[in-house]
């Protein structure tokens, strides 16, 4: 009996120790699994945050992309329409879409070329800004040269018109003679005037429209003299002959003034281009020293002051050497 009681006690003790071991193992497993669950939760939260940021970035990119495309489409329509009108006024007929594509190529390739050549952000940004305004500058330059050429041809055209009227031709026939014997752009503008007269437009209205197309003081003065002579019934031949003489003298005087001020203009252009030329040479010889001018705040401030002073100096020289006859 004593032996069986001792065996029962030993079995109960073994069961108790086994139960304690099993409970301890489960507690250890539970305790070790809790940090893993926390790390899994933190990793999941990190993934969700990254996904939310990526989604917001995608939405912002989509919105900005639509805004950029809308503005680009508006700029394309405006640029194409204005370019076609401006070129058509100069009797240059070109597609506005092709001009827009050419402008877009300038905006892409000019900054890229400057970036590869210099690898300086300021020069690249300046090139992109200049490429944006290149078409406008080209249009204005072409228009200014066309007006200057028209003004040079105007005295000879009035002399020819006066000779035709003195020979007994009518005003329409005299204008057609001017169109046939004059070079462009004067023949183009007077040809448009003759076409309007054939369509029944009065000479006064046609001359007013022509003044809007050619806003030159000399032409406006001559056109006003012709219109006044037609209204008051004066001698049109003498009026045109007098205007031809006046325009010829004005042309001679402008030539003298241009020859006297050409040296000053050349010096102004040379002085304006000299700092840019020297900056390019020094950048090629000492790139490390010149890089301080383009990469530091102090250098950019000095560069901005230099650019402003260059523009002011060139403007002053241009105003000094520009004399209206």
56 lies in the same domain as 186: no
pLDDT in tens, 66-102: 777 777 777 778 777 778 888 888 888 877 788 888 8
> Phi-psi category of 243—alpha, beta or left, where left has phi over 0 and alpha has psi -120 to 50?
alpha
* 66 plus 136 within the same structural domain: no
Cis peptide before 154 (omega within 30 of 0): no
How many domains does the chain contain in total?
2
CA dist., res. 32 & res. 285, Å (int): 67
Angle, alpha carbons 188-194-199 (nearest 5°): 130
- Tell me if 97 is assigned to some domain: no
In a domain, 96, yes or no: no
Residues 72 and 173 in one domain: no
Please check whether residues 60 and 165 belong to one and the same domain: no
Q: Reply yes or no on whether the pLDDT at 21 is more than 60.
A: no
Flag whether pLDDT at 230 surpasses 70: yes
- Any residues with CB less than 8 A from the CB of 58 and at least 6 apart, and which? none
Higher pLDDT: 16 or 184? It is 184
Q: Is the same domain home to 172 and 315?
A: yes
CB-based contacts of 288: which residues, under 8 Å, 6+ apart?
A: none
Whether residue 84 is contained in a domain is answered as no
pLDDT band, very low/low/confident/very high, at 14 (cuts 50, 70, 90): low
Q: Looking at the structure, do residues 180 and 284 belong to the same domain, yes or no? A: yes
Tell me the residue range of the domain where 68 lies: 39-77
Cα torsion angle, 41, 44, 49, 52, sign: negative
Of 126 and 187, which is predicted with more confidence? 187
pLDDT tens, position by position, 182-218:
998 999 999 999 999 999 999 899 999 999 989 998 8
Same domain, 230 and 307: yes
Do 129 and 60 fall into the same domain? no
The pLDDT of residue 293 is: 82
Q: Would you give the end-to-end CA distance of the chain in angstroms?
A: 144
Residue 22 lies in a domain: no
| Three-state secondary structure call for residue 325 | coil
**288 and 166 in one domain?**
yes
DSSP codes joined into one string, 154-186: HHHHHHHHHHHHHTT--HHHHHHHHHHHS-TTH
What are the structure tokens assigned to 262, written together?
A: 């050409």
Res. 5: pLDDT tops 60: no
Contacts of 146 (CB under 8 A, 6+ apart): 90, 185
Query: Which of 117-121, 189-193, 239-243, 278-282 has the weakest average pLDDT?
Result: 117-121
CB-based contacts of 95, cutoff 8 Å, min separation 6: 84
Name which of 111, 115, 101, 106 is nearest 72 in CA terms: 101
* CA 180, 184, 188, 194 torsion-angle sign: negative
Q: Is residue 6 part of a domain?
A: no
Which helix (DSSP H) or strand (DSSP E) does residue 187 occupy? helix 186-198
Report how far residue 37's alpha carbon sits from residue 42's, in angstroms, rounded to the nearest whole number.
Answer: 9
- Contact by Cβ (8 Å): 124, 111: yes
- Give the integer Cα–Cα distance in Å for 44 and 49: 9
d(CA 208, CA 224): 9
Q: Assess whether 64 and 135 both reside in one domain.
A: no
Name every residue whose Cβ is closer than 8 Å to that of residue 204 and which is 6 or more positions away in sequence.
227, 230, 231
pLDDT of residue 67: 76
Q: Give yes or no: residues 160 and 61 share one domain.
A: no
Under DSSP, the state recorded for 182 is S
- Asked if 176 and 307 sit in the same domain, the reply is yes
Q: Is residue 109 part of a domain?
A: no
Q: Is residue 216 part of a domain?
A: yes
Residue 9 belongs to a domain: no
How big is the chain, counted in residues? 325
């Amino acid at each position: 009996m004593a032996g069986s009681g001792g065996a029962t006690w030993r079995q109960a003790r073994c069961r108790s120790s086994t139960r304690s071991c099993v409970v301890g193992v489960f507690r250890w497993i539970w305790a070790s699994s809790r940090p893993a669950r926390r790390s899994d939760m933190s990793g999941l939260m990190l993934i969700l945050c990254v996904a939310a940021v990526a989604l917001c970035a995608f939405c912002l990119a989509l919105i900005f992309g639509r805004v950029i495309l809308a503005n680009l489409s508006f700029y394309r329509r405006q640029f194409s329409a204005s370019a076609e009108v401006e070129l058509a006024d100069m009797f240059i007929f070109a597609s506005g879409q092709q001009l827009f594509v050419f402008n877009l190529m300038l905006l892409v390739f000019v900054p890229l070329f400057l970036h590869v050549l210099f690898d300086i952000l300021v020069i690249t940004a300046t090139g992109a800004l200049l490429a944006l305004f290149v078409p406008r500058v080209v249009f204005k330059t072409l228009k200014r040269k066309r007006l200057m050429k028209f003004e040079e041809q105007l005295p000879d055209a009035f002399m020819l018109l006066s000779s035709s009227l003195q020979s007994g031709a009518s005003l329409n026939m005299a204008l057609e003679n001017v169109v046939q014997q004059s070079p462009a752009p004067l023949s183009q503008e007077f040809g448009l005037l003759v076409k309007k007269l054939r369509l029944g437009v009065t000479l006064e209205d046609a001359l007013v429209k022509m003044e809007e197309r050619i806003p030159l003081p000399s032409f406006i003065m001559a056109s006003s003299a012709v219109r006044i002579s037609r209204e008051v019934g004066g001698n049109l031949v003498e009026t045109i002959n007098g205007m031809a003489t006046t325009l010829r003298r004005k042309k001679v005087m402008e030539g003298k003034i241009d020859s006297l001020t050409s040296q000053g203009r050349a010096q102004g252009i040379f002085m304006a281009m000299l700092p840019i030329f020297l900056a390019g040479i020094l950048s090629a010889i000492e790139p490390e020293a010149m890089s301080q001018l383009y990469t530091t705040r102090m250098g950019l401030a000095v560069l901005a002051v230099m650019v402003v002073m260059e523009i002011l100096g060139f403007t002053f020289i241009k105003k000094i050497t520009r004399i209206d006859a």
